[in-house]
Amino acid sequence: MARVTSDNTKEYLESFLPEENSFVLKAKAEARRWQKDQISLSAYEAHLVCFFIRQFRCVRFIELGTLAGYSALKILESLPTEGHLWTFELNSERAQFASALFDEAGYKGRYTIIVGRAEEQLATIVAEAPFDGIFIDANKSSYPFYLDWSLKHLKPGGLLLADNTLMAGVADTHSPHPEKMIRELRAFNQELFQNPGLEAVILPTMEGLAVGVKRFS
């Protein structure tokens, strides 16, 4: 059977999407300038993330991994006007660029960028919990930590999303990535399916998008 996530399929699906606005395109161009565009969401993956955010009617949302702000802009588009996005970025230069871009796009006051290691900085927003949704797209070796934190601070019925859960080496034997990273992603996937507090699936996108819902009991 042919892979459903071929480049042709990706291009076909993205042909249905509306044209991206200038702010989103600016974020993508900056990621390319940093030579980091390969780790950014594709347009269709961003569409999936936003689809779930809208269907779950998320208002208070967390993103782990801002980069140049592409996915954050998409998330902000999907939140209601009273919504708020907390987004975490390790690199201060990237955070500064993204913040200026968000303001330019008209989202001033509707987001908070926290600079530093998300594993350490998540503690600074515990008082804001519970959250409606969390999107994980940061340090892959810390995915099990992020999952544990998310389950503690999501509301019952809250949405959990995580990218790259099927990246090369996770479901096959070949991997260009560090062994620890693959080991931690496999641990994350196992916990995702086995944790009694979570109902979850993994969508076989180009690198796998995990979708989970925190159970009510």
- 2-6, 54-58, 130-134, 205-209: which has the minimum mean pLDDT? 2-6
In 3D, which of 61, 103, 113 has the Cα closest to residue 82?
Answer: 61
Domains along the chain?
A: 38-214 (3.40.50.150)
Q: What percent of the chain is modeled with pLDDT above 70? A: 97
Average pLDDT over residues 96-115: 98
Using the predicted structure, report yes or no on whether residue 185 has a pLDDT greater than 70. Answer: yes
Side-chain-side CA neighbours of residue 164 (13 Å): 20
**Amino acid 217: pLDDT:** 76
On whether the CB atoms of residues 185 and 143 are closer than 8 A, the answer is yes
User: What is the pLDDT at residue 5?
Assistant: 57
Q: Give the confidence band of 2 by pLDDT, cuts at 50, 70, 90.
A: very low
pLDDT tens digits, one per residue of 132-176: 999 999 999 999 999 999 999 999 999 999 999 998 878 887 778
Proportion of the chain above pLDDT 90, given as a percent: 83
One-letter amino acid for residue 32 of the chain? R
CA distance 37 to 119: 23
pLDDT of amino acid 3: 47
pTM: 0.94
